[in-house]
């Protein structure tokens, strides 16, 4: 839940926020909307091949808490509208970075596999197995 926002607090301009976010388009198969508690989250979902074999299609979802200043700002204001659109774009980049970490591999190792269980799923972290990142044998 965004900081200091109570479940019973609905942004004054929720309908306009909904309209603005729902008008954003991204890749085919992606859905972008507001959702979650108090509709205070950006929810981006897509149908992609699973990054683990057998690579069957899987619906992936990313949820980002809207910053308070955007959630409570008036989206009819040009500066708020532009800031919200830019913030949504930045969150989509984080979602793509997460997906890239799932797919990227070097010599069979998924060296940037993102955290899923309580870790920040959008932080780039190294996951070297059987060696350390400073092992001279990894030099190209």
More confident residue, 101 or 133: 101
CA distance linking residue 36 with residue 21, whole number of Å: 14
What is this structure's pTM? 0.82
What is the per-residue DSSP string for the chain? --TT--TT---TTHHHHHHHHHT---STTEEEEEESGGG-EEEEEEEEE-SSTT--EEEEEEEEEPPHHHHSS-TTSHHHHHHHHHHHHHHHHHHHHHHHHHH--BTTB-TTPPP-SSS-TTS-----SSS-TT-GGG--
111 part of a folded domain: no
pLDDT surpassing 60 at residue 139:
no
Q: What's the pLDDT at 23?
A: 96
pLDDT in tens, 58-116: 999 999 999 999 988 898 999 999 999 999 999 999 999 999 999 999 998 999 988 77
26 part of a folded domain: yes
Q: Which domain holds residue 80?
A: 14-102
Could you give the percent of the chain with pLDDT greater than 70? Answer: 83
44 part of a folded domain: yes
55 part of a folded domain: yes
9 part of a folded domain: no
116 part of a folded domain: no
Q: Please state the separation of Cα 102 from the chain's center in Å.
A: 14
Q: How many domains does the chain have?
A: 1
Q: What's the pLDDT at 82?
A: 96
38 part of a folded domain: yes
121 part of a folded domain: no
pLDDT in tens, 8-62: 555 678 889 999 999 999 999 999 999 998 889 999 999 999 988 889 999 999 9
């Amino acid at each position: 839940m965004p900081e200091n926002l109570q479940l019973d607090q609905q942004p004054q301009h929720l309908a306009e926020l909904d309209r603005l976010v729902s008008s954003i388009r991204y890749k085919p198969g992606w859905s972008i909307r507001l959702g979650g508690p108090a509709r205070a989250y950006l929810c981006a979902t897509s149908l992609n091949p699973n990054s683990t074999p057998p690579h069957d299609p899987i619906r992936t979802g990313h949820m980002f808490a809207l910053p308070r200043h955007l959630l409570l700002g008036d989206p009819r204001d040009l500066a708020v509208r532009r800031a919200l659109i830019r913030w949504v774009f930045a969150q989509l980049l984080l979602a793509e970075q997460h997906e890239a970490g799932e797919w990227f591999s070097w010599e069979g190792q998924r060296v940037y596999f993102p955290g899923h269980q309580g870790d920040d799923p959008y932080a780039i972290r190294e996951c070297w197995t059987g060696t350390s990142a400073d092992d001279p044998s990894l030099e190209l």
